[in-house]
């Protein structure tokens, strides 16, 4: 999709904005639909990723 100069300057592209809002809404709906176990497992994954990132930076 070609982004016009005006949109680049204003940083507002209605099509792109709509896509991002929809994607975020879907992501949040999926996140909320998870069971507690699934949510805790995703927190554990975030923790593991943070440890790897810390090691990488160090």
Binding-site ranges for another protein (CB under 8 A): 28, 31-32, 34, 36-37, 39-44, 46-48
Considering the complex, state which of residue 1 and residue 29 has its C-beta at the smaller distance from another protein: 29
CB of 37 to another protein, least distance (A): 5
**Taking the CB of residue 16, how many other CB atoms lie within 10 A of it?**
13
**Taking the CB of residue 7, how many other CB atoms lie within 10 A of it?**
15
| Alpha-carbon gap, residue 5 to 13, rounded angstroms | 10
DSSP label of 11: T
CB of 50 to another protein, least distance (A): 8
CB of 5 to another protein, least distance (A): 35
């Amino acid at each position: 999709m070609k982004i016009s100069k005006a949109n680049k300057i204003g940083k507002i592209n209605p099509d792109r904005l709509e896509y991002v809002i929809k994607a975020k809404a879907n992501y949040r709906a999926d996140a909320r639909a998870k069971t507690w176990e699934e949510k805790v497992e995703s927190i554990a994954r975030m923790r593991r990723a943070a440890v790897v990132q810390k090691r990488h930076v160090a």
